[in-house]
Amino acid sequence: MIGIELLYLRLHAVHKNSADLRHAVELSQRSLRSLRARRFSFLCGDAGPLALGAVAFLAAGELLQLQPAVMRLDSDIPDELLYGRAGYLYALLFVQTKLGPDTIPKDKIIEVSNAMLDSGQALARTERRSDRCPLMYAWHGKQYVGAAHGLAGIYYMLMQPGAGVSEESLTELVRPSLDYLRHRRMRSGNFPSSLGNDTDRLVHWCHGAPGVIHTLLLARTVFKEEKYLREAVECGDLIWQRGLLYKGYGLCHGTAGNGYAFLALYRATGDQRHLYHACKFAEWCLDYGTHGCRIADRPFSLFEGMAGTIHFLLDMLDPNTAKFPAFEL
């Protein structure tokens, strides 16, 4: 439901149709009635409905009421993006972006970022990796690498300009940890799903190079080093070879999520080759249901289903013509 609500908000932003906003508000009212205070992230917890509710109703107070639980380092709350502190941080930054910089107090955001830094340093010390990787994170006992549950997604959120991480922490904690992650890249150019796992099978946003690309591109902006861009482009080459997925069309482990990697590469470089690749993946998605792909467990959801696919296709449209962009190779 929350993914469809986000889609209606996106459609309203594009088309300015009041009916889309009305649908979003109606879905928000329904989702807010079903909160259970069990999970706290944007994508898979209470923070998502509250963040979208804040945007729809111009209120953010209830979202901040989750923060004391999120801050407890002695709890079983993870740090990853789908269910953990990184997902809650995303919700805070989402509301701030939509409603203005004063909507969420900056000190509240910094508190969450600092909790993530403290948690990562604690596990790095426990694992005796502090000298190589100052920030280490685990989910269900595994040290995942990718965007959904792993290091790439957490580092990506810590590098966000609005996260309030100090220059010192970025330089001494985040950067060497990211470089440790980079060196886990396999000979093919892909990344394993978790540390110690050498299986080169998954080419998804959630596990594999497509999710790590976004972290590398942001690192290039933050740390001003071209090595991050070079490696992101190499990841893109791998996705072009192996990224049309019969697993589905969605964002998490589907072709639309992989197409976003090309769109990110194009926006970072201006190279028309990446735009061409993104358009080809979008064309595959437009032929929805004709490739024998697996039907998602939640076929209309944001991350598995059609809502996420439509988000990707909307992002591919030229805002001036409402068509796929024209380009020359």
Dihedral sign for Cα atoms in the order 179, 195, 90, 85: negative
pLDDT at 184 over 80: yes
Give whole-number Cα distances, 49 to 58, 84, 301, in Å: 13, 15, 14
Per-residue pLDDT reduced to its tens digit, 256-271: 999 999 999 999 999 9
Q: 59 is written with which tokens?
A: 């209120």
pTM over 0.75: yes
What is the Cα–Cα distance from 139 to 136, expressed in whole angstroms?
Answer: 11
Burial class (CB in 10 A: 0-12, 13-18, 19+), 271: middle
Residue ranges for the known binding site for Zn(2+) are 206, 252-253
User: What integer pLDDT is reported at residue 63 of this predicted model?
Assistant: 79
**pLDDT band, residue 23 (cuts 50/70/90):** confident
66-82 pLDDT, tens digit per residue, is: 899 999 998 889 999 99
Give the per-residue pLDDT at 25. Answer: 67
Which residues does the annotation place in the binding site?
206, 252-253
pLDDT at 113 over 70: yes
Q: Please report the pLDDT score of residue 186 as a whole number.
A: 96
Contact 207/252 with Cβ under 8 angstroms? no
Query: What are the C-alpha distances in Å from 180 to residues 8, 133, 148, 155?
Result: 39, 6, 18, 12
In sequence order, the 6+-apart residues with CB closer than 8 A to the CB of 104 are 60, 63, 64, 92, 93, 95, 96
